[in-house]
Amino acid sequence: MSKIRVETYFKNKIMNYEEQDKKAGRDVEDGGYVDVDFLMNLMNTQCENCNEPLVIDFEDGKVSSNISCQRVNNSQSHFKDNVVGYCVSCNCAFSDKIKTI
């Protein structure tokens, strides 16, 4: 596994979280925002919802992962103390439930 490629993958994921938070008017500058080390520490743990292993894979030379961060308090940003590790499937399913309520 190429550490540099994984770090780049996670940096892109963090940029997407920041864009989501900024678009929603949530603060991203207070400190304590999720970072590469935080996401890397989620590898080989389990989804807080379904217990699926959170992993990184290399497919056709590309990095893929089921690791995502679910915000505990949806009015707050992706800060380390406001997120738990979720697999992408659970995070998307939870997001869909919020939209239909």
pLDDT tier at 16, thresholds 50, 70, 90: very high
Domain-by-domain residue ranges, the chain? 3-100
Nearest Cα to 34, choosing from 22, 42, 46, 24? 42
Neighbours of 70 (CB within 10 A): 19
Nearest Cα to 13, choosing from 52, 48, 54, 46? 54
Cα within 13 Å of Cα(11), Cβ side? 6
Average pLDDT over residues 3-16: 93
The tokens describing 51, both together, are: 């217990």
In the prediction, which pLDDT does 99 show? 46
Q: Which helix (H) or strand (E) holds 83?
A: strand 83-87
pLDDT tier at 80, thresholds 50, 70, 90: very high
Across the chain, mean pLDDT equals 90
Average pLDDT over residues 8-27: 95
pTM here is: 0.86
Residue 87 is which amino acid?
C
Nearest Cα to 2, choosing from 65, 50, 63? 63
Please determine, for residue 97, whether its predicted confidence score (pLDDT) is greater than 90.
Answer: no
